[in-house]
A and B are shown apart, each in its own frame.
Chain A
């Protein structure tokens, strides 16, 4: 969620709540002979408010599981999650009088701090990373499908190289699944099928990523540098692109590699080489997307589980504090 003008109402309301609470806290401390205490009336008010904010923030997860229920706009829930979740930290600090207390309360204080700070970190990332994604990854795909897309790119590259160099005995990977348009993707297409180069080809029922080889353009002698490059560098990169030391992972080094290859291959093979270079570029973009996605969502591995622990232990604390 972007931090922009649309957050003004929530930000102002949160600031007002914080200011009122801070003033109330200062007055309460100055009038308490024994100092602030979580068990005092004001301490309980702050504690209840803080815990209520936490519960509301936690309910966002439940709300997301029932997106069709008419429980208010998702945007409102998200803003409430952000701002009330943020407010829960000062409320809990006021509740405890900035004392961390015993083992359970100390754990709760640290959990609150970690959860809120991880949330702030996540919100900040949400503000910047999507923009970076748009800029750096124009060929962005669904994160969960990156492996499949990569497989499709590999199949496409295999077809391209066989169309230039002839049959190389590359195994066609078959991956069944329901595809957009009702197709079963990545089906190998017979050599006689219409080569897919246009949208008309797609409409004709072929898969865009699984093209049949066209005409073999090069002799064995002519295709040797290309075949060597393909098996030593390109295919390894397409199979395991996360390997950082691969030269095709670096745009400049990849550019140099393809430029050198163009000098060693006849002109007729250059369009295929350009396609292979595009496939490399798309693979690099997918690598970048993966990295940005981990930045964008990795913090949730801390935020969500610890939030659940916080709610659970907070409830236990509330009950046991009533007892003692």
Chain B
């Protein structure tokens, strides 16, 4: 007889109260549903008891503020009677000043610190503001008063950024030192009787902090004191320019100096009786030097006062002097000084300097050199960061430039070869070259922290 299996027989196996009995699965589910939330609350409670609010942080802090990671209250200052403890500008300004951007800036457009400097985004560079922050105003620039004197529609480097100002149409180098770059970049003779040399850019152009030797320097001139200062040589940066806060000592090329770059070849000799040249200085200093040198010479060489005419030196249009003349020392010094100055003013100095001869004045006036150190006063550039690249890669004009007025700064397109959006390119956001704050208006702040105390949780 086969085993019979009906609905009733099957149903009778079932305890009608089965759902009231706990099972392993139900028990496990209930235990986990109680235990895990309690564990989570315990986690928060443990942080609360240890007064560590980092658990509520929305992300790690930037590298600059990493030391404040444990000190939420340093920025999140809670006002009395308020629940909110949001970070405000006051907390930022407690440690560092944030000068205004521009005097003409529209007042209402001044953003809060955290608008551009986002915190809790990991170990980022907090200075790295987004292009949109700058573009917010510069894409449609308006000023509080007066006319807009800058490009008014700049969104990014790729969109609306004008050409570098000195590379625009008609802009010339304001310098007055006559220099033919093209000649100097070809094999050139070192001095009147020297060997041929091939000069390199770094023979003349080096950062200020460079301490090594210069191949075309003359120790006599390097060590010599001069009556003029850098302010007489360099073109001053106009007021109102947003200079970067930090200018690295290797960032910019130092102005080219005669003593280190020119003196070895461009000898300032003035008379075959002397091995040394005149000082590289103002005409009055040179004149004094010449008089003194000739006086010393004639005192030691009185026979030189008897001057025999040299037919080779007779110049057309000038009266022919007697065959033999006997001069007083003063006459001799005066004549020799005049000859030397004629050589200097009309040839040696004039090769590089613009000399103005004013009637009634014995000595010429040398035009100010007006050397430009900062070609981009609104932007920062670091030669040191680009040291891996050859100079001529960015300044190819140096090979062909013959005029002082040629501006050899590369075009913006040259920068954009590397500085462009995307992972395969260098940084191209605004902050890479420009600064927002006018650091010339910077105010000092009172220090808030002491290092050992900060490490242990205090101020």
A interface list, Cβ under 8 A from B = 32-35, 38-39, 99, 101-105, 139, 141-142, 144-145, 148-149, 152, 177-181, 183, 185, 196-199, 202, 207-209, 271, 274-275, 278-279, 297, 300-301, 304-306, 308-309, 312-313, 316-317, 320-324
In the bound assembly, the distance between CA atoms of A274 and B5 in angstroms comes to 14
In the bound assembly, the distance between CA atoms of A305 and B38 in angstroms comes to 11
Asked if B187 lies at the interface with its beta carbon under 8 angstroms from chain A, I say no
Q: Which residues of B contact A142 (CB under 8 A)?
A: 14, 18
A-B pairs with CB below 8 Å: how many?
Answer: 167
Given A271-B1, A324-B86, does the pair A33, B59 have CB atoms closer than 8 Å? no
In the bound assembly, the distance between CA atoms of A320 and B41 in angstroms comes to 14
* Most chain B CB inside 10 Å of its own CB: which residue of A183, A306, A321: A306
- Tell whether, in the assembled complex, residue B6 and residue A202 are in contact, meaning their CB atoms are under 8 Å apart: yes
Question: Could you give 10 example pairs across A and B, Cβ below 8 Å?
Answer: A39-B58, A102-B58, A103-B55, A144-B23, A179-B15, A271-B1, A275-B2, A305-B37, A312-B37, A324-B85
Given A103-B57, A144-B18, A275-B3, does the pair A207, B12 have CB atoms closer than 8 Å? yes
Q: Which residues of B contact A101 (CB under 8 A)?
A: 57-59, 120
- Tell whether, in the assembled complex, residue A181 and residue B1 are in contact, meaning their CB atoms are under 8 Å apart: no
- Tell whether, in the assembled complex, residue A183 and residue B29 are in contact, meaning their CB atoms are under 8 Å apart: no
From the candidates B11, B15, B44, name the one contacting A181 in the complex (CB within 8 A): B11
The smallest beta-carbon distance between A110 and chain B, in angstroms, is 12
Asked if B450 lies at the interface with its beta carbon under 8 angstroms from chain A, I say no
Q: Give chain B's interface residue range (CB within 8 Å of chain A).
A: 35 or more
- Tell whether, in the assembled complex, residue A145 and residue B18 are in contact, meaning their CB atoms are under 8 Å apart: yes
Given A275-B3, A306-B36, does the pair A33, B132 have CB atoms closer than 8 Å? yes
Given A102-B54, A274-B3, A275-B3, does the pair A309, B36 have CB atoms closer than 8 Å? yes
Q: Which residues of B contact A34 (CB under 8 A)?
A: 115-116, 118, 130, 132-133
In the bound assembly, the distance between CA atoms of A271 and B135 in angstroms comes to 91
Asked if B136 lies at the interface with its beta carbon under 8 angstroms from chain A, I say yes
Q: Which residues of B contact A309 (CB under 8 A)?
A: 36-37, 39-40
Asked if B250 lies at the interface with its beta carbon under 8 angstroms from chain A, I say no
Given A35-B118, A101-B120, A323-B84, does the pair A141, B13 have CB atoms closer than 8 Å? yes
The smallest beta-carbon distance between A295 and chain B, in angstroms, is 12
Asked if B181 lies at the interface with its beta carbon under 8 angstroms from chain A, I say no
In the bound assembly, the distance between CA atoms of A183 and B9 in angstroms comes to 11
From the candidates B25, B32, B59, B87, name the one contacting A99 in the complex (CB within 8 A): B59
Given A202-B9, A202-B12, does the pair A305, B36 have CB atoms closer than 8 Å? yes
B interface list, Cβ under 8 A from A = 1-6, 8-19, 21, 23, 25, 28-29, 32-33, 35-37, 39-41, 44, 53-60, 72, 76, 83-87, 115-116, 118, 120-121, 130, 132-133, 135-136
In the bound assembly, the distance between CA atoms of A104 and B36 in angstroms comes to 15
- Tell whether, in the assembled complex, residue A320 and residue B2 are in contact, meaning their CB atoms are under 8 Å apart: no
Closest residue of chain A to B131 (Cβ to Cβ) is: A33
- Tell whether, in the assembled complex, residue B13 and residue A148 are in contact, meaning their CB atoms are under 8 Å apart: yes
- Tell whether, in the assembled complex, residue A308 and residue B120 are in contact, meaning their CB atoms are under 8 Å apart: no
In the bound assembly, the distance between CA atoms of A301 and B16 in angstroms comes to 26
- Tell whether, in the assembled complex, residue B12 and residue A208 are in contact, meaning their CB atoms are under 8 Å apart: yes
The smallest beta-carbon distance between A64 and chain B, in angstroms, is 13
- Tell whether, in the assembled complex, residue A179 and residue B33 are in contact, meaning their CB atoms are under 8 Å apart: no
Closest residue of chain B to A274 (Cβ to Cβ) is: B2
> 8 additional contacts, CB 8 Å, given A102-B120, A196-B9?
A35-B118, A104-B55, A144-B21, A199-B6, A271-B1, A305-B29, A312-B40, A317-B56
- Tell whether, in the assembled complex, residue A208 and residue B9 are in contact, meaning their CB atoms are under 8 Å apart: yes
The smallest beta-carbon distance between B79 and chain A, in angstroms, is 12
In the bound assembly, the distance between CA atoms of A321 and B76 in angstroms comes to 12
In the bound assembly, the distance between CA atoms of A142 and B13 in angstroms comes to 10
Top 3 A-B residue pairs of the complex, sorted by shortest distance between their CB atoms: A208-B9, A33-B132, A102-B57
* Most chain B CB inside 10 Å of its own CB: which residue of A101, A279, A324: A324
Q: Which residues of A contact B1 (CB under 8 A)?
A: 197, 271
Q: Which residues of A contact B17 (CB under 8 A)?
A: 177-178
- Tell whether, in the assembled complex, residue A32 and residue B29 are in contact, meaning their CB atoms are under 8 Å apart: no
Given A99-B59, A178-B16, does the pair A316, B33 have CB atoms closer than 8 Å? no
Closest residue of chain A to B47 (Cβ to Cβ) is: A103
Given A309-B37, A312-B40, does the pair A181, B54 have CB atoms closer than 8 Å? no
- Tell whether, in the assembled complex, residue A301 and residue B29 are in contact, meaning their CB atoms are under 8 Å apart: yes
Given A199-B6, A316-B44, does the pair A102, B60 have CB atoms closer than 8 Å? yes
- Tell whether, in the assembled complex, residue A148 and residue B25 are in contact, meaning their CB atoms are under 8 Å apart: no
* Most chain A CB inside 10 Å of its own CB: which residue of B10, B13, B29: B13
Closest residue of chain B to A312 (Cβ to Cβ) is: B37
In the bound assembly, the distance between CA atoms of A7 and B351 in angstroms comes to 91
Q: Which residues of B contact A278 (CB under 8 A)?
A: 3
Q: Which residues of B contact A321 (CB under 8 A)?
A: 56, 58
- Tell whether, in the assembled complex, residue B44 and residue A180 are in contact, meaning their CB atoms are under 8 Å apart: no
Closest residue of chain A to B83 (Cβ to Cβ) is: A323
* Most chain A CB inside 10 Å of its own CB: which residue of B14, B83, B86: B14
Q: Which residues of A contact B58 (CB under 8 A)?
A: 38-39, 101-102, 105, 321, 324
The smallest beta-carbon distance between B355 and chain A, in angstroms, is 55
- Tell whether, in the assembled complex, residue B120 and residue A301 are in contact, meaning their CB atoms are under 8 Å apart: no
From the candidates B13, B39, B121, name the one contacting A149 in the complex (CB within 8 A): B13
- Tell whether, in the assembled complex, residue A324 and residue B13 are in contact, meaning their CB atoms are under 8 Å apart: no
Closest residue of chain A to B11 (Cβ to Cβ) is: A180
Q: Which residues of A contact B12 (CB under 8 A)?
A: 179-181, 183, 185, 202, 207-209
In the bound assembly, the distance between CA atoms of A275 and B4 in angstroms comes to 9
The smallest beta-carbon distance between B153 and chain A, in angstroms, is 17
Q: Which residues of A contact B35 (CB under 8 A)?
A: 305
- Tell whether, in the assembled complex, residue A141 and residue B10 are in contact, meaning their CB atoms are under 8 Å apart: yes
* Most chain A CB inside 10 Å of its own CB: which residue of B12, B32, B135: B12
From the candidates B11, B13, B15, B84, name the one contacting A178 in the complex (CB within 8 A): B15
The smallest beta-carbon distance between A192 and chain B, in angstroms, is 18
Given A101-B58, A144-B18, A309-B36, does the pair A202, B8 have CB atoms closer than 8 Å? yes
